[in-house]
Structure 1
């Protein structure tokens, strides 16, 4: 996508930057200015009993025109058809459909990734504007550190980068094991307090329905760092102004070893129990008696399922979940490796367990992304 940022946050150029072609962007802009007139055009408008944000209007307007149109299969032609109908521009389509991120893309629907990409880009724009304002205020007060906002930002991420020797070595400390999550830094605001202490762990939570939790939110981390890297880099590929990070959660081995058989559950492909749990959780259905042990667990360790929720909703039986639904880690040779494993912290007990981890956030530089991406293109 173009790296040229629009001058105004609320503008026609912003809608184009977020991913729409000229015609669809003009259509959305005209609708917004009719509903939110002013000079400058406001970012927020009152629509009793709610307040409507500019970015939410953009997403909702395009979706309302084609709400029943989506793609969730490996047929790339269908994805392009959906994006064409939504008015998504060619640069954005190329980013979403990049073969280097195909496995990650196919975990969600086309509608999901359109929304996620727009939100990523909008958050990146807001951060750029806020940073500019911080610099302006700091220069006015002769404080070139960037003020309190700059101080908070320095505490939220490590001084070492995600692909640095320090980050890599931190994964192998004696007596510990590390779990990972790749995401955009904008979604971690206030994870730490002003002293650098973990403050709001819920910034890391995932909403249901998910693999093992159909009706409750939970915390998902992967055992393979390369998977977290894929997710972080896919965010960067779709939003070049964004700041992707890799979250490390380092545990003492004893923290897991002391859990009782009730508190920890393990479930893996190809067991029928895993198929049933995935099937019912992704459909947000009530678990039968023989699976309710997973609701009582603080930690579930198991195989990661791919494919969007819509694929499971349309299934008639758990036996329809085949090996092609599994998410794979990156193999040493070309192609994918072994079935990937996730750690899922649930309930208050799981949250307390996660809070015992040493959590560090490692930023990804543009250079690191470029180097990884060149190698990934060679594999895809």
Structure 2
């Protein structure tokens, strides 16, 4: 029940307990430590509460809002004014309709914002947005402070909500798919439909039996079978032997991108064909103020950092690292103006990034970067919010760089940025798609990452800049 003609309506409680190994395409591997028998002593830890209706007050809480803010927004949604645009749940009048996710994030836009290195200011902003305390703690986790300060508080609040919402949609899609698979299996000649019929009769989780209960002892759950049949999503995680091996490929440049899985839905279709457009990053960004581009990092540690921060802020969402290998010969076939390089500390890098992030007009001398198929350059680490406070690109400093540790030195991280236009898409499809892999980054990878020294590579940059507020509690930041 997601569509109503009336402007004022309510829904009953719309949540249920879901089995963790049935959530999405990666859950069977992510939660493999959970036994398949619900009678196990650990069974109470094997379930999570999931909204069963996408547009509901329960979803508002699931995406990270406090109960008080969720109640406030749900009242506004269910008491929608007759004037102005309609909701996506209203009858289609061919006019503008407000999507539920846009309604949620839109309520944040007119509130305060900060990008300062002051956790108290961040906490005040997150409280103003109505973000739940546990989600605030995840956003403000000091392990990720260096990355967090690359964007504003408003950005991370929106990003967390959008990630969780996309993850919920992914869970519901996966459940419907498994429901059909179970129904088809039970409907075949000789198929046993007793379990399916019993589940439906007992009303186990409206999302479908594929989420509600595990299979028999020793069997692989349906989510595992679904992942096995999903092209491009690897069965092994990022830290596996195959994941580590994929980071190096002789004769190729290996590129990476850490992202939540829900927001790359559609990357592969049922037949395994790839839609590269799913990986586009929207503007404004480092090298474009108006156009969407394909951004990948040359440094897998950067992709790991983004993936770990996403996993820290997630509820049940799967996070992945995209791994793309491009032959050196393909890159060598590009020559100016098709390929451009722009690095810190050149004045061109400072000006291009400043103009793109503030959406200022691009002068003729810099338009070669907009027309290139591929631009290779340094990665910026300051939010649009901060760039707008800078009067001139000449004020851009080294603190605007995203850096990694190499052989005892701090060096700028490098990004490969492909045009979102036809030429860039064609290059990626021709030279990168056949070697594209997507590795799950499960909770166990986050725990291993936190237990290692990998996060200290980034914390040291804050120490260098004398930005150590809130880091002493980590205990190891100064090592």
* Residue pairs, 1:1-380, within 5 angstroms: 4-35=49-80, 44-46=89-91, 49-60=95-106, 62-63=107-108, 67-142=110-185, 150=226, 154-198=230-274, 200-330=275-405, 337-346=410-419, 347-355=421-429, 356-357=431-432, 358-375=435-452, 376=455, 380=477
How far 1:255 moved relative to its partner? 0.8
How far 1:331 moved relative to its partner? 5.4
* Cα offsets for 1:149-169 (capped at 9, x unmatched): 937962141122111111211
How far 1:337 moved relative to its partner? 3.5
- Relative to the length of structure 2, the TM-score reads 0.71
Tell me, in whole angstroms, the C-alpha distance in 2 between the residues paired with 1:217 and 1:6. 32
Tell me, in whole angstroms, the C-alpha distance in 1 between the residues paired with 2:74 and 2:364. 52
Tell me, in whole angstroms, the C-alpha distance in 1 between the residues paired with 2:399 and 2:236. 37
**CA RMSD between the two structures:** 2.7
Tell me, in whole angstroms, the C-alpha distance in 2 between the residues paired with 1:318 and 1:6. 47
Change (3 A) 1:87 1:68: closer
Change (3 A) 1:331 1:94: farther
Tell me, in whole angstroms, the C-alpha distance in 1 between the residues paired with 2:449 and 2:407. 15
Tell me, in whole angstroms, the C-alpha distance in 1 between the residues paired with 2:52 and 2:331. 50
Tell me, in whole angstroms, the C-alpha distance in 1 between the residues paired with 2:366 and 2:80. 50
How far 1:270 moved relative to its partner? 0.9
Tell me, in whole angstroms, the C-alpha distance in 1 between the residues paired with 2:89 and 2:228. 26
Contact 1:3/1:240, CA 8 A, preserved across alignment: no
- Relative to the length of structure 1, the TM-score reads 0.88
Tell me, in whole angstroms, the C-alpha distance in 2 between the residues paired with 1:170 and 1:141. 37
SS in 1 for 2:50: coil
Tell me, in whole angstroms, the C-alpha distance in 2 between the residues paired with 1:359 and 1:99. 32
Moved more, 294-303 or 370-379: 370-379
Q: Structure 1 or 2: larger helix share?
A: 1
How far 1:313 moved relative to its partner? 1.8
Moved more, 322-331 or 295-304: 322-331
Tell me, in whole angstroms, the C-alpha distance in 2 between the residues paired with 1:153 and 1:116. 29
Structure 1 stretches of 4+ moved >4 Å:
143-147, 330-333, 377-380
Q: How many pairs does the alignment contain?
A: 368
Contact 1:134/1:146, CA 8 A, preserved across alignment: no
Tell me, in whole angstroms, the C-alpha distance in 2 between the residues paired with 1:326 and 1:303. 7
**What are the ranges of 5 or more consecutive residues in structure 1 without an aligned counterpart?**
37-41
* Cα offsets for 1:35-76 (capped at 9, x unmatched): 39xxxxx9723586222333322222x326xx0511122222
Change (3 A) 1:81 1:331: farther
Change (3 A) 1:362 1:151: closer
Change (3 A) 1:302 1:212: same
Change (3 A) 1:113 1:298: same
Change (3 A) 1:153 1:93: farther
Change (3 A) 1:57 1:45: farther
Contact 1:171/1:177, CA 8 A, preserved across alignment: no
Contact 2:267/2:278, CA 8 A, preserved across alignment: yes
SS in 2 for 1:142: helix
Larger Rg: 2
How far 1:243 moved relative to its partner? 0.7
* Cα offsets for 1:331-356 (capped at 9, x unmatched): 577xx942101011114322222221
SS in 1 for 2:250: coil
Contact 1:327/1:340, CA 8 A, preserved across alignment: yes
**What are the ranges of 5 or more consecutive residues in structure 2 without an aligned counterpart?**
1-46, 82-86, 187-209, 211-220, 456-473
SS in 2 for 1:73: coil
Contact 2:247/2:300, CA 8 A, preserved across alignment: no
**Partner residue in 1 for 2:18:** none
Change (3 A) 1:142 1:53: same
Change (3 A) 1:189 1:8: closer
